[in-house]
Amino acid sequence: MKRNIVFYSLLFLLGSCLLLTSLTSAMAANNYELYIAQGIDKVNESKFDEAIGLLQKALDASPDNPEAIYYTGVANSRLGNLDTAEEMFKKVVADKEYAANAHLELGRVYYMKGRCDMSKQYLEKFISFTSKKEAVAYADNLIQQCRSAERRDREDEPYKLNISLGAQYDSNVVLDPDNPLVSKDKSDGRVFGLVNAGADIVENDTFKFRTDYTFYQSVHFDLNNSPNDFDVQYHGLTPSLELTVFEMVVPSVGYTLEHVRFGNDWYGRIQTYFTKVKVREGVHYSTEGIYEYRDVDYQNSVLFASNSLRSGWKHTVGVKQNFYRGKIEGDIHYYYDDKHASTSYWSYRGDRVGAEVLYQIKEPLAVIGAVDYNRRKYRGVFPGLGVIRYDKAMMYRLDLHYQLAENFALTLSETYIDNRSNNTTFDYDRNIIGAMVTWGAI
């Protein structure tokens, strides 16, 4: 009898536990359905803070439910909690029901983080999953914006060799437009060659060491006979070191050595030491802080008998805001210059402010516009003038760039410079119109 009582008591206890478990599961399921429905409603209403609270309750009720995980990722993504969103989407990226949308959202997250390599990988996979035109257009637009940012940063060009040939008409041929030392209004045409080369010598997870080289040679139609030989030859070599430890903050240092020949004479040597810190603010924006120290050694010649008086050194401090928005990219910049020459009347303080914008009209045609304002106040009185010189200059540039083929491009350009001084001796304007074909050999 006692055994029967014990048996039935255990049976009753087991049944009660099973019933309680069933009731608890049913309540949890009901709670999940309630919280997930309310959370999705809040996501659709763009009330993402409220959505996260409700979706977290849904996750508490059903931790492995891909629906709750996915929408928690969406809410966090829209609030800018990109790390949390990335974690959530990766949990459901292999789920059959949410795989396509998870790929799209991960592409968007990496796009916002500025990780274009990962963004393109997920977005291209998403495009292979769907046939919805609007969704494909959205993903393709993000890919295009990433490509725009990559072109700007040259992150996909460990090696570069561009060779250009062109012709220009110059209404006022002077070597240094800021300080013309020759008589004005020497108009002429010229042909020129330009080589831009560069290579990443060493690159790893910590740093990148790169060297760039530029060569330029012009040949004038008329102004090419001594002593009035205005042909210019330029060499520029720039080794630089960029630290790549941090994803969002990229400091770099470098050195540029420039040699310039004017006709048959050595015109000058310029050494520039520079440092730069670039802060990436997602894929759309980046900010650069820049410092340069330039050591300038100008040489006298038959054409420039007192050129060495401008030798000296210059400090430059600047900031540049870059932006990349699909078909539009460019920068706004400001620089402060402090120049000390061997004579006070070639020494000055001044600043420059300007902007450059590229607009991709339609592949393969783009238009580039730039404007710069430059003012300088000199420290000493120029001999024979009696007053401290003060200059203001405006520069306008307009380029049309047409990609003829994958490795060939045509550029039509016009640049106009208008310099005005409190002494009309230094007033001048200059208009340069040209065309150039560039071959991207590497």
Residue (of 215, 214, 227, 222) closest to 169 by Cα position: 222
pLDDT tens, position by position, 62-121 = 888 999 999 999 999 999 899 999 999 999 998 888 889 999 999 999 888 878 888 888
CA 66 to chain centre: 37
Domains, the chain, with CATH or none: 2-150 (1.25.40.10), 157-440 (2.40.160.60)
Helix (H) / strand (E) containing 182? none
First vs last Cα of the chain: how many Å apart? Answer: 95
CA 156 – CA 379 distance, rounded (Å) = 45
Quick check: 239 and 252 in contact, CB under 8 A? no
**According to the model, what pLDDT value does residue 244 have?**
81
**In this structure, what DSSP letter does residue 385 have?**
T
pTM of the model: 0.70
CA 23 – CA 380 distance, rounded (Å) = 93
- Token pair for residue 147? 């490509």
**According to the model, what pLDDT value does residue 111 have?**
85
Residue (of 170, 125, 180, 119) closest to 144 by Cα position: 119
Non-local (6+) Cβ contacts of 305 within 8 A are none
**According to the model, what pLDDT value does residue 139 have?**
87
Spans of the chain below 70 pLDDT: 1-30, 147-156, 175-185, 226-228, 283
CA 386 – CA 359 distance, rounded (Å) = 47
CA 295 – CA 37 distance, rounded (Å) = 68
Residue (of 272, 264, 338, 266) closest to 308 by Cα position: 266
Residue 228 φ then ψ, to 5°: -100, 50
